[in-house]
Amino acid sequence: MKYGIVAFPSKQIQDLANTYRKRYDPHYALITPHMTLKDAFEADETRIQEIAKKLEAIAERFAPLQIHASRISSFYPTTNTIYFRIEPTPQLENIQKAIQEEVQIGEPKHVFVPHITIAQKLSDAEHDDIYGQLRMTGVDEKTVIDRFHILYQLEDGSWTTYETFRLSGAE
């Protein structure tokens, strides 16, 4: 089964992201706006239970995350993906690093860039047009995230929560 580890921002940021995702993200109906902490990976039931125990221990170490969506950016020319950039903080980088190193579920596909996708799979022309418009609009939202989740992918391609971990530590 395919799993991923994500954190969901506040409803306010999700609603703002969805105003763009409705039009520009073909995955709009498959998953709620989120910040990926670990890319999708395969695991069986035994392995995912081991992973969940390790994630529980990580969640108990870290305090809720203070995040700031500070601007609209793009992964162009790698992909035509547009996103809300989440300002990296030592705490955010440390929790992502702890997940990567302690859970050991494969090497990361990309360097960790905290973000919430708002548009993807655009043609070059669409990307240039939409990105120009959205950059002028901008974003400046702050919120606290007090939990993260293991999601799993259903047969229809949508994602749903497998387990939730409350951030309750001091780090």
Q: Which domain holds residue 151?
A: 2-166
Can you tell me the mean pLDDT for 129-149? 94
Backbone angles phi, psi at 59, to 5 degrees: -60, -35
Indicate whether 151 pLDDT > 80: yes
Indicate whether 109 pLDDT > 90: no
Indicate whether 111 pLDDT > 90: no
Can you tell me the mean pLDDT for 112-119? 96
Indicate whether 53 pLDDT > 90: yes
Rounded Cα distance between 89 and 95, Å, is: 10
The residue that leads in pLDDT, 63 or 171, is 63
In the set 27, 34, 68, 110, the catalytic residue is: 34
Give 57-61 contacts, CB < 8 A, sequence gap 24+. Answer: 57/102, 58/95, 58/98, 58/99, 58/102, 58/103, 58/165, 59/147, 59/148, 59/165, 59/166, 59/167, 59/168, 59/169, 60/168, 60/169, 61/98, 61/169, 61/170, 61/171
Average pLDDT of the chain is 94
> Which of the four pLDDT bands, split at 50, 70 and 90, describes residue 107?
confident
In this prediction, residue 104 carries a pLDDT of 82
Query: Does pTM top 0.95 for this prediction?
Result: no
In the set 68, 115, 127, 149, the catalytic residue is: 115
Residue 127 known to be catalytic: no
> Residue 171: inside a domain, yes or no?
no
74, 115, 163, 169 from 124: Cα distances, Å: 12, 21, 38, 44
Name the DSSP letter for residue 81.
-
Can you tell me the mean pLDDT for 94-117? 90
Which tokens belong to 4? 């991923």
> Which of the four pLDDT bands, split at 50, 70 and 90, describes residue 98?
very high
> Residue 49: inside a domain, yes or no?
yes
Residue 110 known to be catalytic: no
| Per-residue pLDDT tens digits for 15-25 | 999 999 999 99
CATH no. for residue 6? 3.90.1140.10
Q: How many domains does the chain have?
A: 1
> Which of the four pLDDT bands, split at 50, 70 and 90, describes residue 170?
confident
> Residue 54: inside a domain, yes or no?
yes
In this prediction, residue 37 carries a pLDDT of 95
> Residue 67: inside a domain, yes or no?
yes
Three-state SS for 151? strand
Radius of gyration of the chain (CA): 16
Of 144, 145, 76, 75, residue with least CA distance to 115: 75
> Residue 89: inside a domain, yes or no?
yes
> Residue 92: inside a domain, yes or no?
yes
